[in-house]
Amino acid sequence: MTDVKLASLMTLDTVEDGVYQAQSWDLGFRALFGGQVLGQALAAAYKTVGPERVAHSFHSYFLLPGDAKKPVIYDVEIVRDGRSFCTRRIKAIQDGKAIFFMMASFQLPEAGMTHQYATMPDVLSPESITSDIEFYEANYDKLARPMREALSYHKPIDIRTIDAVNSFAARKRDPQRNIWLRARESMPTENIALNQAALAYASDYHFLSTSLQPHGVAITDKNLRIATIDHAMWFHRPVAFNDWLLYVTQSPFSGNARGIVKGQIFNQKGELVASTMQEGLMRKIDS
């Protein structure tokens, strides 16, 4: 498959009121890609709110590894519908078991006090950086077979990691990473749900692995077990995922076989459009 569309992944079939089914993509990982359930769960929640409501945050927990070869069922519970805010609880299900939970909050847009105390770093432009997918294609023979077979599913998002060679190498470095990303396909700006769901999907790329950098451990290490535990996201401004966004990630701490990473997503004007936080398992096992 060469023509893979992210919008199709975020298109859910209605099983009954509040229950939806979505396809899965096998990205060549050990389990279902976490970004998929983040984006699809948000898309499912959007199906139960009015068109004037906009998601401003979600908080989620990954309970069990998902199977990338099977579809996912999303069960949406209406927790509260207020005049300004409404809340949804989303459960992702495979084989009759809950693999993931999300709480998502929506708001009617309104004017209010505004400030930004976050500065976009001065980095190389996306046009001057090679796309990650080109790096993988150039090193195709070095990739594990599952990754080679799934490479087309990594193409819908154009990801360009600054200093990619060092970022993914097994060498010790500061726990921070800068990534340019955007959707390759058309994402109409008026489709707020799709843009936010797509960005939620992308927010899980290369995120937790930032915590590995101070330890000189590569994500491809066969003795490494890494998995997301929880993921939170806040949307501050409208998202236009057709445009380049800079994903700035830092890991302030790791310990107890866990790492935590925070992210800030800027548009090219330097405006903070979203923030993320994630904690995950990082465990080395004996070979």
User: In sequence order, what E strands does 162-284 have?
Assistant: 176-183, 224-235, 245-255, 258-267, 272-284
Closest by CA position to 274, among listed 249, 251, 242, 254:
249
Q: Tell me which amino acid residue 149 is.
A: E
Active site residues: 204, 228, 278
CA angle at 246 for the pair 85 and 44, rounded to the nearest 5° = 35
Report the DSSP pairing between strands 97-107 and 19-22: unpaired
Q: Tell me which amino acid residue 91 is.
A: K
Task: Specify whether the CB–CB gap between 198 and 10 falls below 8 A.
Answer: yes
Report the DSSP pairing between strands 245-255 and 157-161: unpaired
At residue 233, what are phi and psi to the nearest 5 degrees?
Answer: -150, 140
Angstrom distances, CA of residue 102 to CA of 32, 56, 124, 156, 193:
16, 13, 35, 24, 16
Which residues on neighbouring strands pair with residue 261, listed in sequence order? 278
CA angle at 90 for the pair 89 and 92, rounded to the nearest 5° = 155
